Each structure stands twice: as C-alpha cells, then as structure tokens.
Structure 1
Amino acid sequence: MEKQVVFFDLDGTLLTSDLKVASSSIEAIHRIREQGAEPVIATGRTIMEIGYVMEETGIQSCVAMNGQYVIYDGEIIYENPLDVNEVKALHEGSSRKGHELAFYNAENITVTAGGSDLITKNYERVGSVYPPIDDRLYLDETIHQMLIFCEAGEEAYYQERFPYFQFVRNSPFGCDIYPAGTSKATGIERLLTSKNIPRESTYAFGDGLNDLEMFQLVEHPIAMGNALDNVKKAAKYVTNSHDEDGILNGLLMCGLLDSKLVY
C-alpha cells in the first residue's frame, strides 16, 4: 500500500478561531501517523511563525509561504526565492501609492514602516506582534514571499502592473504576494516528486483562496465547514468547521481514520 500524505492548511483549518490546535486534531494526527500516513503543513505562513504548531502536532514537514519553501522531515527540499529586481520594482510602486509591504523568508519577517493600522490588525489577526521595520531586507537576504497591506480591491492596481506576481487576498487587511503561476500546489508537487509519492495517495484540508490549487492537485480535497463557498465546491468532502472538530471528522469521512480507533 502506498504511503498516504495529508496536507493541512493552518488558519481557518488546523488552527481554531483562537489560533490553537484542537486536542481532537492532535489526537487524530497522532492516530493517522501510527497507521502510516504522513501529515504535512501547507500554509501561507513562514516557518518561524509555526514552531508551536509543529511541536504540538509532531509534524516536521511543511509547504510554507504558499509553496515557495518546502521542508520534509526537517530537511529543505525546495525553495523559490523572489527576483530582487522584481521585488524592488514593486516596493517602489507601492511606496508611490502609500501602501506598506512585508518581506518574508524562513527566519525573518520585516515591514516597510511603523505605525500602520492595517499592519497592526493583520498581525493581531494571527496572534502575532508588529514585525521589525526594515524596508531593505530583500537587498540583504533571500525573500520567498511578500504581503501588501491594502483595502479589498486595491490589489487589482498591482496585479495589472506587476503581472509576474500574483496578489491573493488572505484577510481584509492585505494580500499574499508570490510568483505568478506558483502556489501551494507547486510546493506539493516538488515534495511528491522528491519522495516518489503518487497523487492518488494525497489528501488536503483547507478553507481559503490559496487552497484552491492544492485542492485541484490532490486526489482527496476536504473543505472545512467554515470554508469559502468556492473552496467547498472544489472539495470531495466538506467536514465541520475548524472550531467543531473538523479535522477529526474530515479524517473519518475520507476513510483515513477508523472510528473504532477514536476515543
């Protein structure tokens, strides 16, 4: 029997509304691992933000920053840095429009200015603090992802002028930015190829726009009860919400977990 791999989005999926991993999810993940399945985090976040999740769940593999950085069992197997000149062009363009940016790699997050209401709200939303201010990080270090802090709809201006990036809204406060034509699915494909894992053995849980490509790639997509409608339409199964044991019930629904083993 081929090894089964289960990809878990974090916000709105593996994490509850209070940004914790439900005890039922932790137990379910331990159970599927005992049965030979491999759990993997697939998130828009970077590695430095999710250490507590990896520790609580025991998961050591992650498709991070929307597929731009992939580790398997703690080993880096793929990374896709942003082009410095393209980052510089966007930085200059966003400065002219009065929009701030965040720069991401595996070890650091910085933002281009202090005192921004949108930046404050964005990081409060994910239980974090205002990042350090450094608008030159991309000149000194490799960058894998950016965020732009803007109101809903304002990203269309940037999508038209910077077509080599895609701007995917992740909250009312801003959008993830990563190379056009890439996604969580890109990173997942790299992982599957590297470890010779067939798509027929893949499962994924998600709720948001940046999960759609992942759902199109894996064999068994599972949407959370709190997922966007178009994410639910793309799923094979729809489970309970992230606050109502959605991970546990989704693993039962798709047959990865035997109800006789749950107690």
Structure 2
Amino acid sequence: MSKIAFFDIDGTLFWPGIGIPDSAKRAVDQLIKNGHKAVICTGRSRGMVPESYFHMGFHGVICGAGTYVEYEGNVLHHDQMTNDEIKKVIEWGRKEKVGIILEGDENGYYDSKNCDETYKTMRKKTEHNCETILQPLEEAVHIPKWTYHYLKPEKKYEIEEILGNRYTGIYHEPEDAVEFMPAGINKATGIACILENCGIGREDAYAFGDSVNDMEMIRYVKYGVAMGNAVPELLKEAPYKTARADEDGIALALKKFELI
C-alpha cells in the first residue's frame, strides 16, 4: 500500500550553501519509484520555491505553511489577503520600523524604503536561498502571508488585533522573525486536505521538519520526524528523529522506515 511523505524545505530538504543534498534527491526519487507519494510542505509561499523543485517528481505542494495546497495538479486550498489587509501590514510594519517581507504566489516582496543594513543582508540571503529576486512592496499581488523581521514577539498581538485576529503570528527565534498566516491554517491543515483527496490515512503518513511551524504537522501524522538540526521544541515533541539535513538525514530516515 502506498505511503505518503511530507517534506519541509528550509533546514529539511534544503541546507544553505549546499541546496538539496544529493542523498536527499536520490532518496526522494527512490521513494517515488517505490510507489509512494511525496509532497513538499513548506512555509515558503509558492512564489519563493525555485521552479526546479517542482520538477523533482513531487505529487503535490503545500506552500505558505498551509495557505496554498496543490495535489496532482489540482488546487485544493488557496488563501489570499485583501488589499486593505496588505496596506495595513505595510503601514504598521513601517511604523514599527521592522523588516517586512510579503510572501506571494508569484514572488516575494521587500521594503525598498528600509535602508537598515541587517534587513538588506537578510533580504539578500532570502533571494539567494529562494533563487529569486524580491520585488518592491508596492508591486505586491496575491499575498497569502507575510513575515516581520526583528519584531518583538509581544508586539505581534497589536497587528493581529488590527487585522481582526484573522491572522496568527509564530515567532522563529533563530531567525528573529514573526511569520503570520491565516488563523487556523497551518501545515497540518494542508496535510489533512491532501490526505482527504488522495485517500491515504494519517497512519500511513510521514512528515519531516525542523522549525516551530512544523509542530502541527509533526503531531498530526503518525510518523513525525524532526531533523537533527531542528529547534529544541520540535526535537522534544517529535516521536522520531533523524540526522541533520546536511548529514543525509532524509535518506537515513526513509531507509529506517523501509520506504526506500
């Protein structure tokens, strides 16, 4: 019987300076050849996932931490912010003097008026890792989520209230960033959407991640796996663990589960 595996990108499939390790590429390819399903499940919006990833044979993608769900060419779920919400996010972020990245279906967008050197460095790193060129905020269209960089975690409640609590922020300590997505939406809701569509149960589902926004999906599937480089909260929560992403963690785990 076919199993299904969901893979986060950053820190799971992808490692800075390496990209996707060859061992992970071969493992995913063999997983698919063995008759199983493979799905990308990332916090990145669709416009910030390199096109080459979509040619690796994945059966589906969950982007924007659950805001966009696609399986075998069919879009199953798609959230988008209103123009008024985007305007409020930009105005409030500039007032608070934080780094703004709007994450869209076609592209990512940055604040060209923000001359802070730390923000510029972060933007260049994002462009390098996502193999894209961010566009100015004023050109933003089709935005499902956004991230504030260098925002104090306790301040996130202000923008949540301004937007009627329709969005929830998750603090990423290593990146000093708060990631916002629609309330009630996360990677687990995206996985549930795909499982309902493909007819595979949670007991035959595997998920691999390393960050706090992977917590829900790790809890949701039967086989939740934390990478060796995962944040402490996820390592504590995950029932299964593997090696770091740059130390063949994906390949080792898929072999351990006898999926390849």
Q: TM-score range by the shorter chain?
A: 0.7 to 0.9
Q: How does 1:180-199 map to 2 (within 5 A)?
A: 180-199=183-202
Is 1:149–1:174's contact at 8 Å kept on the other side of the alignment? yes
- 1:235 pairs with 2:234: no
Shift of 1:93: 1.9
Aligned with 2:222 (options 208, 215, 219): 219
Distance between the aligned counterparts of 2:10 and 2:249, measured in 1?
Answer: 13
- 1:113 pairs with 2:112: yes
CA offsets per residue over residues 170-207 of structure 1, 9 Å max, x none?
Answer: 45252221112211111111111222221111100000
Distance between the aligned counterparts of 1:42 and 1:147, measured in 2?
Answer: 18
C-alpha change, 1:102 and 1:6, in structure 2 (3 Å) is same
C-alpha change, 1:150 and 1:135, in structure 2 (3 Å) is farther
Distance between the aligned counterparts of 2:142 and 2:25, measured in 1?
Answer: 33
Structure 2 gaps, min length 5:
none
Is 1:25–1:248's contact at 8 Å kept on the other side of the alignment? yes
Distance between the aligned counterparts of 1:89 and 1:9, measured in 2?
Answer: 30
Is 1:237–1:254's contact at 8 Å kept on the other side of the alignment? no
* Residue aligning to 2:209: 206
Distance between the aligned counterparts of 1:118 and 1:197, measured in 2?
Answer: 44
* Residue aligning to 1:260: none
* Residue aligning to 2:252: 249
Q: How does 1:102-141 map to 2 (within 5 A)?
A: 102-114=101-113, 115-126=115-126, 127-128=128-129, 131-135=134-138, 137=140, 141=141
Distance between the aligned counterparts of 2:157 and 2:4, measured in 1?
Answer: 33
Is 1:121–1:173's contact at 8 Å kept on the other side of the alignment? no
Which range moved further: 156-165 or 239-248? 156-165
* Residue aligning to 1:68: 67
> What amino acid does structure 1 have at the position aligned with 2:110?
V
Distance between the aligned counterparts of 1:245 and 1:78, measured in 2?
Answer: 32
The number of aligned residues is: 250
> What amino acid does structure 1 have at the position aligned with 2:65?
N
Structure 1 gaps, min length 5:
258-263
Alignment root-mean-square deviation, CA: 2.1
Shift of 1:231: 0.7
The TM-score with structure 2 as length reference comes to: 0.87
CA offsets per residue over residues 128-187 of structure 1, 9 Å max, x none?
Answer: 5661213362xxx33111111225xx1321224413322223452522211122111111
> What amino acid does structure 2 have at the position aligned with 1:203?
Y
Is 1:13–1:242's contact at 8 Å kept on the other side of the alignment? yes
* Residue aligning to 1:166: 168
The TM-score with structure 1 as length reference comes to: 0.86
Is 2:107–2:135's contact at 8 Å kept on the other side of the alignment? no
Distance between the aligned counterparts of 1:95 and 1:199, measured in 2?
Answer: 42
Is 2:46–2:63's contact at 8 Å kept on the other side of the alignment? yes
C-alpha change, 1:248 and 1:196, in structure 2 (3 Å) is same
* Residue aligning to 1:47: 46
Is 1:149–1:175's contact at 8 Å kept on the other side of the alignment? yes
Shift of 1:223: 0.8
* Residue aligning to 1:261: none
Instruction: Give the share of equivalent positions with the same residue, in percent.
Output: 27
Distance between the aligned counterparts of 1:52 and 1:124, measured in 2?
Answer: 20
Is 2:167–2:180's contact at 8 Å kept on the other side of the alignment? yes
* Residue aligning to 1:93: 92
> What amino acid does structure 1 have at the position aligned with 2:247?
E
